[in-house]
Amino acid sequence: MTAIKESSTRNFNKQISAISCPVTYVMNKIGGHWKPIILYHLSTGQKRYSELRRAIPEITEKMLIQHLKQLQEDNLVLRTAEPVVPPFVTYSLTPAGARLQPVLDAMALWGLDDMAKGNN
């Protein structure tokens, strides 16, 4: 699981930043190139693993699962597996994940606005 060197200034700073700064706390949860995109695709309804893969062709399987796992640990997405073969796994937003919607919307709004004017 990408074992993190517990004794690194790097990680220590990350921790205290997350505790003292709620914005950084959010950043640690939805940061990274792929998480917002995954969250977006799940915001339109639950999806199977393979559906997500096809919806985001640029992402590698490793990255997809890795981030899905982290999002699960962070209690933002829910994994539901049907014990059948071939496997049938669906991912959906948890309530906490759904509550992120206004945040993502606010960000998207600002982003689009900023891209439009480029510089004010």
Shortest spacing between CB 100 and DNA, in angstroms: 18
Q: Does 92 bind its own copies (CB under 8 A)?
A: no
Cβ-based nearer residue to DNA, 45 or 113? 45
Identity of the amino acid at 106: A
Q: Position of tokens 């890795």?
A: 66
Ramachandran assignment for 2, one of left (phi > 0), alpha (psi -120 to 50 degrees), beta (any other): left
Q: Does 3 bind its own copies (CB under 8 A)?
A: no
Residues 97/42, Cβ–Cβ less than 8 Å: yes
Identity of the amino acid at 113: D
Residues 89/72, Cβ–Cβ less than 8 Å: no
Q: Which does 108 bind (CB under 5 to 8 A by kind): DNA, its own copies, none?
A: its own copies
Residues making contact with its own copies (CB under 8 A)? 13-14, 16-17, 21-27, 29-31, 33-34, 36-37, 40, 58, 75, 94-96, 99-100, 102-104, 106-115, 117, 119-120
